A and B are shown apart, each in its own frame.
Chain A
């Protein structure tokens, strides 16, 4: 059980006194964000994405897959105390650096050395790399693969499954075992970047499911009219007993 999967609804946290409206609070954060976007735009899976990118022709030495699933898996794998301790882009910096070390692109020694020595200034210009990254930003990477083939219907009461989560999930922990109502069936079947081991990965219907907060939180729900909606893959839902 990972705290990161059960963040929604966690109690005992402090009052929110101000909204930090900046996207980046330190200049260095911009650099790691840019590196992450570049990795997503150069990821080797984009050759089979929609639209199909000519990824094999891009003159980058990056030959791995890097998607949100990789970044999220890393964040979900963190020591939960560290997850709260470090700022958003500190977590990215740690996860992305470790990825490049693990995959053999850079070594710890090179990184340590480069932190103290000035970098070489002469570099080859390969605009095709940058063009591919920007093309990815413009055209995206839709997970939709087909029209929907839903087994569940709008208005149907459904229970969220309680299948054990692996290293990564798209099922918010606070919804496990809860009963909600199908509000909407989305138009397509939607894949996920990876098979998470808890049922998602292959294209499948996705539903907007409405939950009464009292069903989720019991007597500790906040008073007043509220509805919580989550978008859930079909693998995370089952018909309630009274209907099956």
Chain B
């Protein structure tokens, strides 16, 4: 029984060796090439990154017509922006933006797995995949948000989106006050992955 709760002392080293052995054999047997994994990782470092989401949010902050369209028809709105090819690619086939507004805060979760809008936000951070977060955010989102530093007013409605179907959700946070004179680049710095999932607000404005 005690074995259930014990980790091997060389836990990470063992996993590193296992995955290296697996990758090496898959290359040798012609399943993948010696470059495949590196090319995949490079793709996520250069093309499927949160920079795309940041650009979408800033466009919504600065163009009221776009702000409306990105919620009504997310793929069509995104297609206008000149982002890298592939915004409707893997895990972006059916993107859906939800917008915060005064009195309404959105939070995206996935209680069954870890569905995430790859093309616009990149890969999910560990907190999003954590079973504790996934379990608790479904039942007590207000408490969870407060624990991670987002105290919402008692009368703010929280809309929790459990990604159990085909859509991949992301949040358009509210534009922080005091940013009227900001350039697009300055605005983009206020947008974090956390704010586009709904565990943080955009900002802070320094």
Q: Show the binding face of A for B, using Cβ within 8 Å.
A: 4-5, 7-11, 13-23, 25-28, 30-35, 37-38, 40-42, 59-62, 68, 72, 75, 81-85, 87-88, 90, 93, 96-97, 100, 105-106, 110-112, 114-115, 119-120, 123-127, 129-130, 133-134, 136-144, 169-172, 174, 186, 190, 206, 208, 213, 217, 220-222, 224-233
In the complex, which range does the number of interface residues on chain B fall in?
A: 35 or more
A7:B35 contact, CB within 8 angstroms: no
A72:B17 contact, CB within 8 angstroms: no
A172:B25 contact, CB within 8 angstroms: no
B112:A9 contact, CB within 8 angstroms: no
In the bound complex, CA of A137 to CA of B36 (Å): 13
In the bound complex, CA of A68 to CA of B157 (Å): 33
> What are 14 sample pairs from A and B whose C-beta atoms fall under 8 A apart?
A14-B132, A16-B127, A16-B133, A18-B148, A26-B15, A28-B15, A35-B37, A38-B36, A61-B29, A115-B21, A123-B33, A136-B90, A137-B48, A231-B167
The number of A-B residue pairs with CB atoms under 8 Å apart is 290
Chain A residue numbers with a CB within 8 Å of B160 are 226-229
A126:B91 contact, CB within 8 angstroms: no
Chain B residue numbers with a CB within 8 Å of A60 are 30-32
State the Cβ distance, B167 to closest chain A Cβ, in Å.
6
B141 lies within 8 A of chain A by Cβ: yes
A224:B93 contact, CB within 8 angstroms: no
In the bound complex, CA of A100 to CA of B101 (Å): 48
B100 lies within 8 A of chain A by Cβ: no
Chain A residue numbers with a CB within 8 Å of B21 are 111-112, 114-115
Q: Which of B18, B94, B123, B136 contacts A93 (CB 8 A)?
A: B18
B129 lies within 8 A of chain A by Cβ: yes
